[in-house]
Structure 1
């Protein structure tokens, strides 16, 4: 199998799996439906092309949290285009200053096609919402004949911002959280895995549909390139009468 890795970094990101009324939340990490949607846009897939989406949805997905960022809330107002009436106030959540490494695993021909499209996308990519453009190149390369998804994510350097890495300069090794799509048994079960409703079935605006997907959370340890040894405080000789000298 082959693995395509992507860097997802930007001032704002938003990866929702549920939207209730005027509240739009975000997960703490990119969702499979969001990243597959990004790749579908890159190859120029129409929103109502459920057959083409089904091929992409079969890819195994994983994501590593290199810089968790912080959650911010925004209030938005809008007016109806035809009547001019005010729409309900909406509450939207974003991740600010976050960095992730996402990966999809599949057959080499499809991975190569996605890699080519990612470097010359048919539609501009965005990080969950159209108001969230990436601030860095998305392409981190293709890994052919890779052992598995976790191995590729573990070998990828730490992509957090320099200031974030320097903040942890006294740690030479950093533990990062990763969410990997769990393999299922013959009965469609994945023992010990959590579930997330982000398996895309259709992006058609008339009937968007998503299924549950098993997810296994693990820890991946990476090297901190800005690590500096902690300097020991100097040990001073104690002289209880030193202040009396010259008196």
Structure 2
């Protein structure tokens, strides 16, 4: 198996997995359905086209390299003739967030995804059309490393200004698919973000188990926290 790494960075991102009616929430990290939707757009697939099983079967994981700020916007709408108005809707976004997303699977399939993302058919967005991609997506391909190894070893992608505001040691949260051999004590949750159908008339999603973890890295640009007891020395 091979692993393809993507960098998801933009002024705004929004990854809804439980949005309903007038409240459009965002998850704190990219959803599998959102990233696969991005890939389908790059490949020129339309929403009404069936989703290839080989895509939904890809292993998936995300690392939070730069914690974004949650922001709220709202939208109002009226009919074209101006006679009808619609309820006020609230939209939530992540501002200035940076993520590393990893997918593992067949190398030939990942090569095709990489080529499509480098030269997409349709415009690409990070969750919603109001969140266009701001940087090149393809971060790199990692040989025969496993999904956890790839997420642990990928270079930190945070912006310079963000690094300077962080401590000398940073813990980057990781959310990835539950894999065979994972400890029963691993923190797990079920997320409904496996796309089964993107058709607006019959959207459908399946469940997957997600394991939460973190990787510790050294930040050479970080600030040292002041220890008020350091001057007292040891006993």
Q: Gapped runs of 5+ residues in structure 2?
A: 229-235
- The residue that corresponds to 1:163 in the other structure is 161
- 1:174 aligns to 2:173 (yes or no): no
Deviation digits for residues 55-86 of structure 1 (CA, Å, limit 9, x no counterpart): 21110100000111111111101112356421
1:9 is matched with 9
Tell me the alpha carbon deviations over residues 215-237 of structure 1, each in whole angstroms, 9 at most, x when there is no partner: 0000112232424667999xxxx
Q: CA deviation at 1:144?
A: 2.6
Question: In 2, Cα distance between the equivalents of 1:104 and 1:4?
Answer: 5
How far apart are the structure 2 equivalents of 1:94 and 1:230? Answer: 30
More strand per residue: 1 or 2?
2
Residue in structure 1 matched with residue 124 of structure 2 by the alignment: 125
- 1:90: how far off? 0.6
Partner of 1:106: 105
Larger Rg: 1
Aligned residues: 226
CA distance in 2, matches of 1:64, 1:222: 13
When the two structures are superposed, what TM-score results if normalisation uses the length of structure 1?
A: 0.85
Question: For the residues of structure 2 that align with 1:174 and 1:49, how far apart are their CA atoms?
Answer: 42
Counterpart CA distance in 2 for 1:209 and 1:3 is: 27
2:151 is paired with a residue of what secondary structure?
helix
Hey, what's the Cα distance between the residues in 2 that align with 1:129 and 1:176? Answer: 25
RMSD: 2.3
Which whole-Å CA distance do the structure 1 matches of 2:46 and 2:212 have between them? Answer: 32
Q: Distance in 2 between matches of 1:190 and 1:105?
A: 24
> Does the Cα contact within 8 Å between 2:65 and 2:157 map onto a contact in 1?
yes
